[in-house]
């Protein structure tokens, strides 16, 4: 069960060279968490292993983004995107996430591998207003059940107007941030 944590408006920033790595089973329960994940999120290995990855879900993240992520990876595709996560003490941290299906040698799905790194402030500033609008749509949705789909529809409309898709947009934001840091 996810602990009740009061979100605080205090950010923890990953260092440029830090990578958060975790593995989950097919249901999203954590089977591996690297040291950086434990340090940034503020959980011990015992507190993370066997627990749903959503233990770090921040209330500012639209449910639609997670539905989009799960739809992407359960179809066998790789997901790239920006995620705001919640620390055990209520602080938050942003990541650029790459989530990919993890298969054994026979092609059987074992779970998912996620590698997260520090996004640029420019990328966060670009994605935040879209996520805020998605949260508003979810709050005002006709039902909780349809809320994620309604916010995804908004996201897809915004991306269509930009003549792109989410993965391309996310990768472009991330790659632009790499070029800006050089």
What pLDDT is attached to residue 2?
57
Confidence at residue 1, expressed as pLDDT on a 0 to 100 scale? 52
Quote the pLDDT of residue 3: 60
pLDDT of residue 175: 83
Contact 79, 169 (CB under 8 A): no
C-alpha separations of 46 from 22, 28, 83, 144 in Å: 14, 16, 24, 32
pLDDT of residue 152: 94
Domains of the chain as residue ranges with CATH:
19-181 (3.30.450.20)
Half-sphere exposure (Cβ direction) of 91: Cα atoms closer than 13 Å: 13
Average pLDDT per consecutive 10 residues, the chain (182 residues; last block may be shorter): 80 96 97 98 97 95 95 95 97 98 96 96 94 97 93 94 91 70 36
């Amino acid at each position: 069960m996810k602990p009740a944590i009061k979100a605080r408006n205090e950010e923890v920033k990953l260092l440029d060279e830090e990578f958060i790595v975790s593995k989950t089973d097919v249901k999203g329960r954590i089977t591996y968490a690297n040291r950086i994940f434990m340090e940034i999120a503020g959980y011990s290995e015992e507190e993370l292993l066997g627990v749903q990855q959503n233990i770090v879900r921040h209330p500012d993240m639209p449910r639609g983004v997670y539905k989009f992520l799960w739809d992407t990876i359960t179809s066998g595709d790789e997901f790239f995107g920006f995620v705001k996560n919640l620390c055990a003490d209520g602080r938050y941290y942003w990541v650029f996430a790459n989530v990919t299906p993890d298969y054994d040698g026979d092609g059987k799905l074992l779970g998912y591998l996620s590698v997260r790194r520090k996004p640029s402030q420019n990328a966060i500033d670009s994605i935040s207003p879209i996520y805020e609008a998605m949260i508003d749509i979810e709050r005002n949705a006709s039902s909780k059940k349809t809320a994620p789909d309604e916010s995804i529809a908004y996201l897809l409309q915004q991306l269509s107007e930009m003549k792109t898709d989410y993965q391309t947009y996310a990768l472009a934001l991330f790659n632009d941030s790499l070029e800006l840091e050089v």
